[in-house]
Amino acid sequence: MPGYLEFVPRQRFLPTIALSPDGALVAYSSHASGRYDLWVIPVTGGEPRRLAGFDDRTVRQIAWTPSGDKLVFTADENGDEQFRLYLVALDGSGLTEIDPGPDCQRVLAGSPFDPTGRLLAYTANDRDPAAQDLIVRDLATGDHRRYTPPDDEAFEAISISPDGRWLLSTGFRSNTDIAAYLTDLNALVADPICVTANLGEGVFDPGVWAADSSGFHLLTDHWSEFTAAAFYDLATGTLHPIACPDWDVEALDAAAGVRLWSVNETGRSRLGADRDGSPLPLPDIPPGVIASLSLARNASHAVILIDSAARPAELAVVDLRRQEFRYLTDTRPPALRVIEPVAPELITYPARDGRDVHALLYRPDGPGPHPVLLSVHGGPESQERPIYARSGLYQHLLHQGIAILAPNIAGSTGYGTAHQKLIYRDWGGIDLDDLDHAIQYLHTLSWADTTRLAAMGASYGGFAALSCLARLPYSWAAGVSICGPSNLLTLAKNSPPTWKPFVATVLGDPDTRAEQLLERSPVTYADGIAAPLFVIQGAKDPRVPQSESDQIVARLRERGVEVRYDIYPDEGHGFTNRANELAAYEAISAFLRTHLIAATADHSEPLQVG
């Protein structure tokens, strides 16, 4: 029977890709070398080439210079999210740091250069740890211009217009309240102007410019609960819809009169396109999730990063002229060449107030009864989608006979703004009720063994898993928390400075909601946890500090509850080191098999006396 490592993809990618100006090369971040480094590969296929990397840094964002002979990228140390900016030549030479100085969060714009390649746009909180300022740096002189955000907003640089005049940026208040700003770079003194202020509150998430700088594309929920693709006309100050499906448009690129976008339909990605406003036929793509897309300047082709339950994330080319789809990479592990991976069934189950919760249900081969892992995504504003999850961990557990239910509970994205906002300042409330109904749904399945249940999650999902073990009265056999908060009050108080407005909106202000935050915290109900628990934590985690895991571990060990606690000193919020990631997932697999399968088998044999 294949072990966990035989299910591990040969490499993984971060969701950042960038086509060169001539469309011949795609740059990406991959941990094929053990760390997430900067690589390029020809779109026609061939051997990838590593351009830059570090022993202790992760390449996060990537962009090409307009000339195409250099790339700029950000990287942070061991997941600490203190991003630094670097420039490197296409041949891998001349690696230099831009804006060296104290640690801070330098976030690169998606299209950061002016047409000359001399000006570079990004944001940084170097002036004030609680404020993300817009910065436009002259790479020739080192001089820079700085623009400060309004109170309770975080700026994010998006792009400089093709004519070099406008800097486009967002003003971020929460995931459901994003404004678009323009700054006139031709003016000696100029403040960023919110151009969507008269459209009210909502999502106005700007992206790529029109080639003539007449306006920019954006994603917006202005017309419905779902995010549509639109165009903002600078001359009239009006929005024009491009695509308004009854699902979220989640990515869009445009070039040479062609617009290409991806729609999230019940978790799966569907591509749409038009040319000069008329629908453009597209080749079929495999069912899966498009994590990133980049359209060539001549619109002849696009490169996408596509992931599915049956095949790990891959770079692929969508040829718009030949109507062809082809993979650029092949990361399939040995196990997928000898077994048939399990695709999830998209199901719904009833929750309170007449709502239905969408979920992915993975059923192993065989009649059962099968133990079940309740897997909760992070965020909470995220979505469980049909991907090759957790470096093959899902497929390995399924091959061992463990079923997986992965719900998109209140707070999840992909099902409208109202569903997403249900969890605002209600963590451990409506979401836990949805998880309770998930277990009730499992009781209706004849093949599910509800006497052998486990809960697992990372970040918010770790909080949800701890809440299940502590507050829901079921036969929990095990739990796994990866960097999961255990005390919402201390989490809110210790959040990164730039997150304060977001935390107050989504989680709750620790100064005014301290009682509620404690009342909803798993640590408050730690005495209710009896199942063995596996806790994994990065020592450098800036979002969920190690103290969050320390608290719950200490409380359980005081009572003699079985707890395995693995701390990774060189990791932050999640894994950037491949060896660490594989060690953690292999340990999780063994832990879950021990408590969901082996423990039952051990007790199934009658005792032999004498």
In this predicted structure, what is the pLDDT of residue 599? Answer: 60
pLDDT at 213 > cutoff 90: yes
pLDDT at 603 > cutoff 50: no
Residue 26 inside a domain? The answer is no
In this predicted structure, what is the pLDDT of residue 298? Answer: 95
Axis-axis angle for helices 430-442, 460-471 (nearest 10): 70
Residue 345 DSSP label = E
Question: Cβ(271)–Cβ(282) under 8 Å?
Answer: yes
pLDDT band with cut points at 50, 70 and 90 for residue 288:
very high
Strands (E), 434-553: 448-458, 476-482, 533-538
Q: Are residues 262 and 361 both part of a single domain?
A: no
Domain end among 282, 307, 333: 333
Q: Are residues 127 and 222 both part of a single domain?
A: yes
In this predicted structure, what is the pLDDT of residue 606? Answer: 29
Q: Are residues 168 and 300 both part of a single domain?
A: yes
Average pLDDT, the chain: 93
From the list 273, 312, 275, 269, the residue with the least C-alpha distance to 292 is 269
From the list 452, 470, 463, 460, the residue with the least C-alpha distance to 559 is 470
Residue 240 φ/ψ, nearest 5 degrees: -125, 125
Q: Are residues 238 and 374 both part of a single domain?
A: no
pLDDT at 610 > cutoff 60: no
Q: Are residues 310 and 419 both part of a single domain?
A: no
Residue 131 inside a domain? The answer is yes
* pLDDT digits 0-9 by tens, 55-111: 889 999 999 999 999 999 999 987 888 999 999 999 999 999 999 988 999 999 999
User: What CATH number does residue 424 fall under?
Assistant: 3.40.50.1820
Strands (E), 99-203: 107-113, 119-124, 133-138, 144-147, 154-160, 166-174, 177-184, 193-194
CB-count burial class (<10 Å; 0-12, 13-18, 19+) for 183: buried
Domain end among 277, 309, 333: 333
CB-count burial class (<10 Å; 0-12, 13-18, 19+) for 145: middle
Which residue matches tokens 């964002």?
61
Q: What does the radius of gyration of the chain's CA atoms come to, in whole angstroms?
A: 24
Q: What is the mean pLDDT of residues 298-305?
A: 97
SS3 68: coil
Q: Record the pTM.
A: 0.87
Q: Are residues 567 and 511 both part of a single domain?
A: yes
Q: Are residues 417 and 327 both part of a single domain?
A: no
User: What CATH number does residue 196 fall under?
Assistant: 2.130.10.120
Residue 235 inside a domain? The answer is yes
Q: Are residues 307 and 379 both part of a single domain?
A: no
pLDDT band with cut points at 50, 70 and 90 for residue 176:
confident
Domain end among 315, 333, 351: 333
Sign of the Cα torsion 449, 453, 458, 464 reads positive
pLDDT at 602 > cutoff 60: no
Q: Are residues 376 and 514 both part of a single domain?
A: yes
Bridge-partner residues for 13, per DSSP? 30
Q: Are residues 382 and 324 both part of a single domain?
A: no
* pLDDT digits 0-9 by tens, 137-164: 999 999 999 999 988 888 999 999 999 9
Tally the domains of the chain: 2
SS3 527: helix
Domain range enclosing 183: 95-333
CA 467, 470, 476 angle in degrees (round to 5)?
100
Q: Are residues 354 and 420 both part of a single domain?
A: yes
**Strands across the sheet containing 301-307:** 289-295, 301-307, 314-319, 324-327
pLDDT band with cut points at 50, 70 and 90 for residue 335:
very high
Q: Which of 74-88, 288-302, 310-324 is predicted least confidently?
A: 74-88
pLDDT band with cut points at 50, 70 and 90 for residue 605:
very low
The answer for 211, left when phi > 0, alpha when psi is -120 to 50, beta otherwise, is: alpha
Q: Which of the pair, 169 or 578, is modelled with greater confidence?
A: 169
Q: Are residues 417 and 515 both part of a single domain?
A: yes
How many angstroms separate the CA atoms of 351 and 376, rounded? 16
CB-count burial class (<10 Å; 0-12, 13-18, 19+) for 352: exposed
pLDDT band with cut points at 50, 70 and 90 for residue 608:
very low
In this predicted structure, what is the pLDDT of residue 495? Answer: 87
What is the amino acid identity at position 112? P
Q: What is the mean pLDDT of residues 342-359?
A: 95
What percentage of residues in the chain have a pLDDT greater than 90? 85
Sign of the Cα torsion 466, 468, 473, 477 reads negative
Q: What is the mean pLDDT of residues 498-516?
A: 89
In this predicted structure, what is the pLDDT of residue 81? Answer: 86
